[in-house]
Amino acid sequence: MGGATVKNLHSSLERFSSGDRRALARIITLVENRSPEVPHLMGALYPKCGRARVLGVTGPPGAGKSTLTDKLIGLLRKQGRRVAVIAVDPSSPFSGGAILGDRVRMQEHFLDQGVFIRSLATRGRHGGLARATREIVHLFDAFGFDDVVVETVGVGQTELDIMRLAQTTVVVLVPEAGDTIQVMKAGLLEIADIFAVNKADRDGARRLKNELEVMLQLRPDADWQVPVLLTQATDGSGVTELLDAVCAHEELREKQPVPDEGEARLQEWYEILRDELSLRLDRALDGETLAPTAEQLRRGETDPYSAALETLANPAALVRMLGAPGEDDP
């Protein structure tokens, strides 16, 4: 790292550690932009992580996840807990929509310094989304939030990966969201610690609850009986019971043997290595390092396989391609 960058990092970290919300927001933007500073920042903040409770809220679009999250925030604030929310919607190419959503939701908690809501703009970079979400969870955790809510639209593998970050996962469904077979196909049955059947005043809510309960008998889970709760996010009914269920699940987890933190660190390290290599390769392809090889390929003087092997077999070329950016700066 260059000297100027290191100084900037230190200053950002100091402001972050003194509780400066703008410093937090700026570091989140660095994570979103996959800036080269991010691993350095995360390494520095890592020792402060591991205290926050991470709650996942997922379900199909229009199930009322955001309204439900808003009501949960209200209850948690009454308990004096500081709450951060990260909303991830990989299926939406419109970060504009997400930002508008933030603004609307922010109104209620706008002046509350104990609440921080942020949408993760995805811009089609599927691969790094789970990593970016985890890094933002780490940031909220290190910043001192007691609860971090990760909200996703639950439909694909990316969302399931993201939900593994949560200690407790609430799956929100509505009667018209389709049958329970869809729930199974989407893998939601496996990840749910709690089901919330929202918009419970509508037709079919009780039937959906019954179907889910029947289906849950297929899932053997000795310690925890997955509850299926009826909620109405708009008027807040059922939300207290939902939070009680979250706390009960959390208490159970605390009684269980501590998960292997060493293995979790190894897994995270592995994902960072993979993602960093892919990121550095992208940068190298955009830059000058590989331009001579690209030119040879364009002219047909070599083939893709021989060109790749040549670069990978040449230690100097490998380091030029993948070494840390700015590594040689004074």
Residue ranges in contact with a copy of itself by CB under 8 A: 39-40, 42-43, 46-47, 261-263, 265-266, 268-270, 272-274, 276-278, 280-281, 285, 293-294, 297-300, 303-309, 311-313, 315, 318-319, 322-324, 327
Decide: helix, strand or coil at residue 79: coil
Tell me how far apart the alpha carbons of residues 164 and 270 are, in angstroms, rounded to a whole number. 16
Minimum CB separation of residue 296 from a copy of itself in Å reads 9
Compute the residue count for the chain.
Answer: 330
Nearer to a copy of itself, 74 or 325 (CB): 325
Shortest gap between Cβ of 164 and a copy of itself (angstroms)? 15
Query: Of 2 and 201, which has the nearer Cβ to a copy of itself?
Result: 2
How far is the C-alpha of 98 from the C-alpha of 90, rounded, in Å?
Answer: 11
Residue 268 beta carbon to a copy of itself: minimum distance, rounded to whole angstroms: 4
**Shortest separation between residue 48's beta carbon and a copy of itself, angstroms:** 11
Instruction: Give per-residue burial for 229-245: e unless 16+ CB within 10 Å, then b.
Output: bbbbbeebebbeebbeb
CB nearer to a copy of itself: pick between 89 and 193: 89
202 vs 287 by CB, closer to a copy of itself = 287
* C-beta of 60 vs 238, nearer to a copy of itself: 60
β-bridge pairing 53-59 and 83-88: unpaired
How far apart are CB 107 and a copy of itself at their closest, in Å?
Answer: 35
Q: Which residue intervals of 18-64 are DSSP H helices? A: 21-32, 38-45
**CA-based end-to-end distance of the chain:** 8
Name the DSSP letter for residue 257. P
214 or 285: CB nearest a copy of itself: 285
Across the beta sheet with 115-120, the strand order is 115-120, 83-88, 147-153, 53-59, 168-173, 194-197, 228-230
